[in-house]
Amino acid sequence: MSHLAPPLLRLLAALLFRPCPGLAQPGPQAVGEVRAARLAQNAAIAGRSLDSVATFWTRDVVIVSSRGRVMRGKDIYRQAFAGDSAIVCVRTPSHIESASAWPLVWEEGTWTGQRGANGPAVIGGRYAAQWHRVAGRWLIRSEVFVALTCSGDPCSWPVQSP
């Protein structure tokens, strides 16, 4: 039996540690799909189409807002967008990377909040997002925003206390 152990262990290792077919997306394809989804969500934000904006989030999305407010769930996040109608936020990805073995994508970049669709930027900073492929579609599972710049009244907006 001992002469069977090495081949059996190799077979088990090959089965247990192989990539999961069907889960991972080819890197360039996933990156392009997420980039297109981000552009579409930016357009929905600019058009104040909140129902469309929300279709890019998982049901259990978790957000840390630019000044520290933590939001959990699609409905809560949508309410936050509805309550902030004066500011239009645009996310601009600088790096998008897909996982090799899972249906996950990392995105990071800069964001700006401007008064209206074409108004001046009054707040901005950096963000990161985790995308998850669900039922053939890339959805945002989590986002973290940090405000780093401001002008005018946004500079007086408070930071959320923990």
pLDDT in tens, 6-49: 554 454 344 434 444 444 445 789 999 999 999 999 999 999 89
Residue tagged 């995105």 (tokens): 107
Report pLDDT for 116. 80
**Residue in the block written with tokens 């190799």:** 10
Predicted local confidence at residue 85, as pLDDT: 67
Mean pLDDT, rounded, for 107-118:
91
Is residue 63 a contact partner of residue 129, using CB atoms and an 8 Å limit?
A: no
Average confidence (pLDDT) over 103-118: 93
What does pTM read for this prediction?
0.81
Q: Could you tell me the end-to-end alpha-carbon distance of the chain, in angstroms, rounded to an integer?
A: 60
CA of 97: how far to CAs of 16, 107, 130, in Å? Answer: 25, 7, 10
Q: Is the CB of residue 95 less than 8 Å from the CB of residue 105?
A: no
CATH class of this structure's domain 22-156: alpha beta
